Structure 1
Amino acid sequence: MLGLRNDLQRYGIERMLETVPAVRKLRSHTDSLGAVRDTAAAAADILLLSVDEIDAEAVAGLGALGADGPKVLLLVDDEEDVDLARVTSVPSAGILAVGGLTAETLYDAFARVARGEVPIPPRLARRLLEPARTAAAARPLPRLTPREHQALGLLVDGMSNRMIGRRLAISEHGAKRLVANILAKLDCPNRTMAVAIALREGLYEQGAAARRTAGPGTAERATAVVADRMAPAG
């Protein structure tokens, strides 16, 4: 599902999506709210919206769709000037720069989302991380429970909520709650920022003992996962 007011951009992205093998059906709207409202009826898996066009009513509509709704990918025109408050106010599964979009980058983004990863342009990732660096320097790191340390390690290893639940022998809902607690304690709006903070502040290493009970994982692999997430798609 695509919701985009700019006719030229919408037409170009439609043509790209038509060549992506993973896209079986495509519907588009000239506004974000129309796309959100049509998502449930169309049973869309992915919803592409412009961060500059989405409004409060559309955000509320996304909230009404709940956890079973589509994965939202936000489109940004300018990674340097985009409103970060607006970006973090929309529940999304990733961010894509319109200027670098191709059929290949779209396919890569869909694949990353399916794996539980969060595609995001590197320059925008650095901007999103900067407030977290400042906040982390100004306050002590939160105390995580042993279970949260386990979940954080698996999150760093690139696992989705479902995979974390399987590894910890808990439900997907329980894993989602653990991840939500971690994001809240680290004051992070998304998984990518939580992973970066965990690696930078040594939380990954601190949880090594707890992680061993949930299966193997290495800091090297974790660093590679973050680098891959923040690398330009395609």
Structure 2
Amino acid sequence: MPPHRAALDAVATPSLNIVLSIRDDLQRYGLEGMLRSLREVADCHPFADLTSAVDAVRAPATDLLIVAPGGTDLDPDSVLHRVAAYGVRVLLLLPDLDSVDLNRVASLSGASLLCSEGLQVETLQQVLVAMGEGEVHIPAALTRALLQLAGRGLGDRQAAAPAPPRLTPREREALGHLVEGLSNKQIARRLHISEHGVKRLVASILAKLNCPNRTLATVRALREGLCAPVAAHPAGRPAQRSSPGGDVRPVPSATGQAVASSLTNGW
């Protein structure tokens, strides 16, 4: 067994109940087979149409909805947006990185992204493990493009409304950890509060920043210096996070000049 696969198998992760929505029969059968081969997956319910998949998501045991979006699936009034608004974790399966409509993908706040082109079972397993721990997966190449898109959008809004948002000290502290790339669970540990309390804080922050998701909020926080300083990492070295690809990337500080190429969160 390859060392990286053995390391993944050693991680204690919850079993996931997954609903799968893919129109293409061959792609759906292939991904279903990959999912059923993973020990992290307790059950998989495949559907050809999104409406039936969303109906199945209503079952309280569902942990994750995987969708290969097409047509009007990403429209603002689609059923996918409504189910995501209720807190269902969504993984968008994209055909390739070159054909991604960033504006439509970014509109689905909190969704993880994964490219289906050349997808390997090890990569799928890594993403599911991360999502099982409350993180959001975004490929590094798309993260850079999404941040550029976010910067352009924020620039337009800042020109129209330059007044800084009024954040409480607690919100500024939580925003600093959000900029670090921490999940809700990790922020809760740092602030010594419940994950539910962190969700309320994050919701308030996004509303005050007029940002639909954490990526946009991170960009605005770094541009405008909105978050409280984050405690230094032990030994004066910057905190680091291992990406699903295996390399280690620096986590940005509240006053940093760049955003990490892989953002995660637990929203």
**TM-score bin, normalised by smaller chain:** 0.7 to 0.9
Tell me which residue corresponds to 2:168.
Answer: 145
State the TM-score, normalized to the length of structure 1. 0.78
Q: Which residue of 2 aligns with 1:51?
A: 69
Between stretches 159-168 and 146-155, larger displacement belongs to 159-168
Which secondary structure state, in structure 2, belongs to the residue aligned with residue 34 of structure 1?
Answer: helix
> Pairwise mapping of residues 93-172 of structure 1 onto structure 2 (< 5 A)?
93-137=111-155, 139=158, 140=162, 142-143=164-165, 144-172=167-195
Q: Structure 2: which amino acid aligns with 1:16?
A: M
| Counterpart Cα distance in 1 of 2:218 and 2:96 | 24
Whether 1:190 and 2:190 are equivalent positions in the alignment is no
Residue 179 of structure 1: CA displacement? 1.1
The residue number in structure 1 matching 2:250 is: 224
- 1:174 maps to a residue whose letter is G
AA paired with 1:173?
Answer: H
Partner residue of 1:180 out of 182, 188, 203: 203
**Worse-superposed segment, 171-180 or 23-32:** 171-180
Contact 2:151 2:219 survives alignment (8 Å): no
- Counterpart CA distance in 2 for 1:169 and 1:131 is 34
User: What is the deviation of 1:33?
Assistant: 1.4
Q: Give every structure 1 segment of 4 or more consecutive aligned residues whose post-TM-superposition deviation is greater than 4 Å.
A: 215-219
SS at match of 2:41: coil
Q: Could you tell me whether the CA contact under 8 Å between 1:51 and 1:86 is conserved in 2?
A: no
Letter in 2 for 1:111: V
Structure 2 unaligned residues grouped into runs of 5+: 1-18, 241-248, 252-258
Identity %: 42
3-state SS of 1:229 partner: coil
Q: What is the one-letter code of the residue matched to 1:77? A: P
Greater fraction of residues in helix = 1
Q: Match of 1:203?
A: 225
Q: Are the aligned partners of 1:2 and 1:35 in contact in 2 as well (CA < 8 Å)?
A: yes
Matches within 5 A, 1:16-27: 16-27=34-45
- Alpha-carbon distance change, 197 to 107 in structure 1, aligned in 2, over 3 angstroms: farther
Distance 1:172 1:134, change over 3 A: same
Q: TM-score, normalised by structure 2?
A: 0.69
CA distance in 2 between partners of 1:13 and 1:182 (Å)? 37
Runs (5+) with no aligned partner, structure 1? none
CA-CA distance at 1:61 after TM superposition = 5.0
CA 1:81/1:184 → structure 2, altered by over 3 Å: closer, same or farther? Answer: farther
Question: How much does 1:57 deviate?
Answer: 4.5
The alpha-carbon distance between structure 1 residues 127 and 219, as it changes in their structure 2 partners (threshold 3 A), is farther
The CA deviation at 1:154 is: 1.9
**2:54 alignment partner in structure 1:** 36
Distance across 2 between alignment mates of 1:192 and 1:23: 28
Q: How many residues align?
A: 222
- Conserved 8 A contact 1:141-1:186: no
Cα distance change on mapping 1:150 and 1:89 into 2, 3 Å = same
Distance (Å, rounded) in 2 between the aligned partners of 1:147 and 1:167:
12
CA distance in structure 1 between the partners assigned to 2:146 and 2:188 by the alignment: 28
Structure 1 Cα separation of the partners of residues 116 and 47 of structure 2: 17
CA–CA distance in 1 between the matches of 2:186 and 2:115?
28
The alignment partner of 1:101 has SS state of: coil
User: How many angstroms does 1:99 deviate by?
Assistant: 0.9
Q: 2: distance between equivalents of 1:112 and 1:142? A: 34
Q: CA deviation at 1:216?
A: 6.2
Alpha-carbon offset, residue 120 of structure 1: 1.0
